[in-house]
Structure 1
């Protein structure tokens, strides 16, 4: 079932994959796989207790029927989460978190299955953030969830040694892909508030963390993308995730050119260096399109260059517009509002504390005075606006493409 699902993902047959997975989950629930997993976890917890009743049943046979059922259910949950993670689809097994196991073994090596399972659990909460945005929950509630997710990502990042995170090797590895996804979900966690920072500078921590994660993500894309084999099932998703980071870097560096002096003086946001990184990432995407014939990579390159051209145009009293064909999403029309940005010339309250890296901890009192923030106002978030063409034969329902990235719905 797992091989079939990934093969369909490789052909971008999302609807069939999603429906097949839902059927598998329904059958698994009917035959009691979730219950078996709960029993096995309860047995494991009872064995770890210092005082345990001798009357408690213990299943020590790893090949028992209950353990086999639990392993099958764990695999189903993992496939459900990776499908949701890559395609931005609802998680059917959200009420069954993957078991939390040690990430580092006795030899100090990273247990990749434990690492990715922990990342999948975090990813499910990142996807929940999209629902919170659409439900227009209060700012304090949103901040609490964002910061809790950020803390989990930091804890996961600190588990392996620093050397594990370094880019090395000239061959494709699972470690490189998992590290790439970790930086992507850091971006997704902070992206909404990072975009709102230009209106409300109390979201500085989110902006700086997202910006740093986008830089790291672009660097990892440059080293990872040439290693992906032709026909790799997630290559288009890798391109789209890089597209998200590149566009954010474009917007951030463009805004720094016309920003107030306090914003332009960000120590870790060298605009020229960042634009050079963006150029490298775009060149990598272009080479991937030529090498593999990947249409999504080609559309991504065209869209990025068109958007970059729009941003380089001087502000005018008349609106400017460009039409973009985005990879795996469709066509959108991006317009630049007349008169440029509605940025407020406020002084960054925490700028004097910024170093070479994004802050790892939010400033004291972060989010305490955010109840009145109108961060949802699209006219205040960004000088760009967009409209999207939604065809009657929307790509998801015709099996032609993956679901849309949620950030595109955040800056209308």
Structure 2
């Protein structure tokens, strides 16, 4: 892992969208026009699996659970318990007031049906099952559909990795569809003969999935446009270099497009971390992916002090911001742009990936400047409630009419003036 200048913090376009968009648009159009037939054709072509139907049969869940070790099942159960406890604490309060005349307020209503995309390419992600399904349940969503790519290697469990099915069963998903890529997003957005459209699609995916979500937005809601995952670690001279190195490696193994960046004022720590990386790499199965990640989008940046590191982190707006420093809660107050802030070396990011409690679906690509992690709030609609009394209507209607005329909207003014005249007649 190299020591870099600040240019490593200048975001690059890691995906060539213009190259991929035509293929994605073609897939979406085909699914919209041809429905199930297009889904079957794309699944055979891209995944090497021939399907008669898309939902996983109920019997496959029992088979899958039998293939997952009790220890992994126990860890999934603990993660689910913590995620559920965290997201059920999310405030979703409907409210009304009589302080503005009559009744005004806001009402939270759960979405009826949502789709959760779960990647299963270079690594299956049962954690994403839990981190998308459980926030939706906490919000009160009744129908939660998982879609995940089929794999010929798992014929015994209907072409889905057993640990993903075990997680789906544990989380209580309504249905699991054997669909991946842009075609899965199209099916959820538009529906087909056998698949009902959803109200919203959430979950990360590759460039084809992300661009498909971008193109279907408007026909359906989305949580955001997830790019490659990223971590920034801010560490002082007191940080444990072995732990810092391990945390960087953990982020880098996701994908060759991932980013793992260390910001530190300590040269001693920087060189210690740098020297530890090769030793750890020798024992890791995804070492080649990590090496490519470190060559492309990752590095160590020496800063004047921790305050400057925080400023640089805010400009970068990372998905994950880890504070391996003394008094992490104090420095956390300096951070205003990050998907998640992991305070102290006991709160390392891998715990957030699996078992801490918040969803690991977080804003990437600098979108943490304006976007938020997935939560129960993503699965509700907020409706404004207006029930004014006659006195209030009589008082404010003339102002509405005056503003309508200022905007050259005569019909708007008419609607207000008729109510005002009616109230005047009632009073006389």
Normalised by the size of structure 2, how large is the TM-score?
0.24
Which structure features the higher share of helix residues? 1
Larger Rg, first or second structure (1 or 2): 2
Give the structure with the higher percent strand.
2
